[in-house]
Amino acid sequence: NRSDVHYFGAGPAPLPTAVLERASQVLLNYKDKGIGLCEISHRSPDANDILADAKQALTTLLDIPDDYEILFLQSGGSGEFSATVYNLVSIWVEKKRAKIAEEVGDDKAEVLKRLRKAVDEELKLDYLVTGSWSLKASQEATRLVGAQHVNVALDARKANGGKFGTIPPESEWNLTPRKSGGGPALVYFCDNETVDGVEFPAFPHSLEGEDAPLVCADMSSNFISRKVDVPKYAVIFGGAQKNIGNTGIAIVILRKSLLPPASMPASPDLLRELNLPVGPIILDYPTIAKNNSLYNTLPIFDVWVASQVMTGLVNAYGVKRIGGQEEISNDKARQIYETLDRYPEIYRVVPDKAVRSRMNICFRVHGGDAEKEKAFLAGAEKRGLLGLKGHRSVGGIRASNYNAVSLSGAKSLVAYLEDYAKAA
């Protein structure tokens, strides 16, 4: 029975029971129309209302300013690894082309020649690699544009014996120098690394200020769990399937100045001339934005679930907005970490204290003894504490502490951690 268990899976992840109950009704019969929400047109007025409600709730929660656009795509989080590259490289190229054309006039061959040189020498995408998801994103960038254009400004494994678990100081990052009208096409980081349990404690200082670069952040696993200073980002994205809804959609919060007419994309012909990739139309931000996320068939049911979850938070926290959820998330994480720290001979938290994720709490039991960790998981299951197995690439234990994990769920885990340690 649903009420007998607490689920700590890393994604897909728990959803509020009340939302799922309403979801099962609307699947059969939406607003007494006799047909369900998966059966109605994504271009119907009802679908438009659902989309508008979802945008409104997210805007309220995160205080998203007017100069940002919200997009819904079926890309998953991984599709945005590619989308950020396609879109921001295209903008970088067009900006450069326009500048060169201003200098040399109508001589197309000369423009192309100089542009080729500029691409060869200056096109850089900066990646801060702090865990396996930012690593994957940097690998996708390399696959799309080539290693010569990808600058791994930080590989957090280097300072930590080849393993993720720290974020070295910003003074050690090797960011592409900024200059007016130049600098990297984007700087990318993953705000919360789901597999490795590493979360940026705050927005990096070196990405702020005058001539700040275009910052793209993956918030798949800590979306709407804390306040976000949206204006610092060019692109924020995340899959819905952890804190927001069910699998099937990704949400993108995009600075409007990256859309036409403020920023024009390069033409596909020009990109081909330059041996740079032309992205699929369904990942093209200008196209998705122009069509209010309805360029192609959007899974409106998924948007409805996200909207219900987010509206629930808006109603629960009122003027505190996402700050209300942040307090609860922090409190749950604090209780779990404090318990782990109380028994250092039994538990070892994997990442450094300063960068411990509030969302994915990764730890080892008995120094990572495989049999003992198996027994730990079996004991947890007996108590209805499910989904605690660490990611297959790193092993160990991972308690994912997303928004729909209740305080009582966290307390049940704390009680188990206590009992296990005392009995060990």
**Backbone angles phi and psi of 343, in degrees to 5:** -125, 65
- Gap between the Cα atoms of 146 and 135, Å rounded: 15
Q: Which two tokens stand for residue 176?
A: 């592409």
Least separation in angstroms between CB 239 and ligand PMP: 3
Of the pair 78, 267, the CB lying nearest ligand PMP is at 78
Cα–Cα distances in Å, from 105 out to 209, 333, 346? 33, 59, 70
The residue among 221 and 263 lying less far from ligand PMP, judged by its C-beta, is: 221
Residue whose pair of structure tokens reads 């200082």 in the numeric block: 205
Looking at the Cβ atoms of 77 and 184, the one nearer to ligand PMP is 77
DSSP state of 356: B
122-142 burial, b for 16+ CB within 10 Å, e for fewer? bbbbbbbbbbbbbbbbbebbb
Interacting residue ranges for ligand PMP, rule: CB under 6 A: 11, 76-78, 133, 190, 194, 218, 220-221, 239
Q: Is 366 or 391 the residue whose CB approaches ligand PMP more closely?
A: 391
Q: How far is the CB of 79 from ligand PMP (least distance, A)?
A: 7
Q: How far is the CB of 305 from ligand PMP (least distance, A)?
A: 15
Smallest separation (angstroms) from ligand PMP to the CB of 189: 11
**Residue among 77 and 277 whose Cβ is closer to ligand PMP:** 77
**Residue whose beta carbon is closest to ligand PMP:** 77
Which is nearer to ligand PMP, 276 or 310 (by Cβ)?
Answer: 310
CB-based burial, 245-260: b 16+ in 10 Å, e otherwise: bbebbbbbbbbeebbe
Pick 152 or 274: Cβ nearer ligand PMP: 152
- 340-348's contacts with Cβ under 8 Å and 24+ in sequence apart are 340/417, 342/421, 343/417, 343/421, 346/420, 346/421, 346/424, 347/417, 347/421
Task: Round to whole Å and give the CA distance between 419 and 424.
Answer: 9
Pair 249, 238: CB distance under 8 Å:
no
Asked whether the beta carbons of 38 and 213 are under 8 A apart, the reply is no
Q: Please tell me the distance from the alpha carbon of residue 417 to that of residue 414, in angstroms, as a whole number.
A: 5
What is the sign of the dihedral through the CA atoms of 29, 31, 34 and 39? negative
- What are φ and ψ of residue 365, in 5° steps? -115, 135
Q: How far is the CB of 362 from ligand PMP (least distance, A)?
A: 13
Could you tell me the smallest distance in angstroms from the CB atom of residue 223 to ligand PMP?
10
> Whole-number minimum distance, CB 282 to ligand PMP, in Å?
14
Using DSSP, state whether 70 is helix, strand or coil: strand
Minimum CB–partner distance for residue 133 and ligand PMP (Å): 4
Q: Smaller CB distance to ligand PMP: residue 239 or 245? A: 239
Q: How many other C-beta atoms lie within 10 A of the C-beta of residue 94?
A: 18
CB of 11 to ligand PMP, least distance (A): 5
Tell me the closest approach of the beta carbon of residue 88 to ligand PMP, in angstroms. Answer: 18
Q: Which is nearer to ligand PMP, 213 or 239 (CB)?
A: 239
Q: CB nearer to ligand PMP: give 115 or 394.
A: 394
* DSSP string over 176-238: PPP-TT-S-SEEEEESEETTTTEE-SS--GGG-STT---EEEE-TTTTTSS---GGG-SEEEE
CA 194 to each of CA 10, 11, 132, 138, 278: distance values in angstroms, whole numbers, following the listed order: 7, 9, 8, 16, 30
Residues 134, 274, 183: CA angle, nearest 5 degrees: 50
Comparing CB distances to ligand PMP, the nearer of 194 and 401 is 194
Task: Name the minimum Å distance from CB 249 to ligand PMP.
Answer: 9
